[in-house]
Amino acid sequence: MATESFSFSNNFTHIIDGKKVGSQKTLPVINPSTGEVLANVPVATREQLDETVKAASRPFRLRGHAFRRAPSDCGASCGLYCTALRPIRQLLKKEAGKDTTSATFEVTISLGWLQGVAKQTLEDETQIDTDEKKAEVRYLPHGVCAGLIPWNFPLALVILKVAPALLTGNCLIIKPSPFAPLAAMKFIELAQKVVPPGVLSVLSGDDELGPWIVEHPDIPRISMTGSIAGGKAIMRNAATNLKDLTMELGGNDPAIVLDDVDPAKIAPLLFRVPMRTQNKAQYEIVKRFIDDCHKNGYKFALGGQVDTSSKGYFIPLTIIDNPPEDSKIVQEEQFGPIVPLLKWSDDDEVVKRANDTVYGLSASVWGHDLKRVESIANRLQAGSVWINEWAALTPDLPMSGIKQSGIGYENSKHGLFSWTKIQAITRNKAF
């Protein structure tokens, strides 16, 4: 099937055993810019999940441990993906409320991720090789894995899981967010042109599908990006079968700006981030934050009013000027176009305040006095710390959350390790 005849605008289906499959029940996907139904996607049943796992188990058994061919899957996917950049970008704009710049950023970084991971390797290692003994470390695939995807980067986070899963010889089932499943579903459908049936599957669904996946006895590994509450629920459900988990969870990332920085230059860099995506769930969360700030009499430096007569879920950038340290807007993840702006004057104090949280996903420090900047950065309790930049993510750098912001690693060799079972083999040569 040529990409020219491939429809990106309708016929959104599961992919099970390499085939397009529907369900009797469907779920509407809302365009957050208009509030209108964009498409309907099938709601997977438990039986369809079982069928998908069974289909994914077959190619894994057939491939055995000869999984070094997996880089070719990533490489072929790159070429195919390049033919679909424009229609996938349009899907992201419609389903995730992204503007053209943000959607272009996501499709571009997704391509870069495919290309970067395709160059990575994870070879078995010889640790000991003497006249008496040989000892090797082998990196074996888990088998059938699952990726649970949020709505804010509905394509990039799919590829962030698909690429290393294929590289390490696993088969992967993707569950996209019900708020923004379309780009993910079409990418997986398109990928069937280059991967064997069952290797890469997608199931869309409602709130029941996630727990079914987590509890399934034949899915030994799950990689999830989502909220802290969702991560805790997954840990509870996964405990029954002691599953291998990698989870990137919520963050409330401090951006510490030194007094030698021009506010006019730094403001666009900091405040553009919360404006990138929107949906109904985020809209309601941000409205509650705004209501709470009004109720408590906090000062609004910008914004503070929501036009509820709009068809779409639009909220202007809202900045709260120096709210109390223990306020909801400071202590909780905002995940939308509302941010608190806090005063500070002492380096030790600002580090203490930045670390006084259950979150530890990422942080940034901005300033020209590099000695001072690095002193602050080195003391921040976050999985990623950026100096004079934001979201400096690459396939070759590990990404992880500490505290309640995550478990395990994604990206780089550390991320590849998590997609494998590590086996030590020793041999007594004197026997």
Look up 332 and say whether it is catalytic. no
Distance CA 203, CA 215 (A): 16
Q: Could you give the CA distance from residue 384 to residue 406 in angstroms, rounded to a whole number?
A: 12
Task: Tell me which DSSP letter residue 399 carries.
Answer: B
225: left (phi over 0), alpha (psi -120 to 50) or beta: beta
CA dihedral 220, 224, 230, 233 (to 10 degrees): 10
> Which of 216, 205, 208 is closest to 44 using CA atoms?
205
Q: Which of 412, 410, 393, 424 is nearest to 121 (CA)?
A: 412
Q: What are the distances in angstroms from CA 343 to CA 266, 346, 363?
A: 15, 10, 17
What backbone torsions phi and psi does residue 268 show, to the nearest 5 degrees? -65, -30
CA trace torsion 65, 71, 74, 76 (10° rounding): -110
- List, in order, residues 6 or more apart from 287 with CB less than 8 Å away: 306, 315
Nearest to 35 by CA among 336, 313, 281: 313
Per-residue CA distances from 32 to 93, 100, 186, 310, 314 (Å): 9, 15, 19, 11, 8
Residue pair 197/5 in contact by the 8 Å Cβ criterion: no
Convert 410-430 into a string of H (helix), E (strand) and C (coil): ECHHHHHHHCEEEEEEEEECC
What's the CA gap between 228 and 230, in Å, rounded?
5
* Ordered DSSP codes for 26-49: EEEEEETTTTEEEEEEE---HHHH
Q: Exactly one of 248, 374, 389, 410 is catalytic; which is it?
A: 248
Contact, 21 vs 14, CB < 8 A? yes
Joined tokens for residue 303: 């914004």
Q: How far apart are CA 334 and CA 337, in angstroms?
A: 8
- Name the residues annotated as catalytic: 248
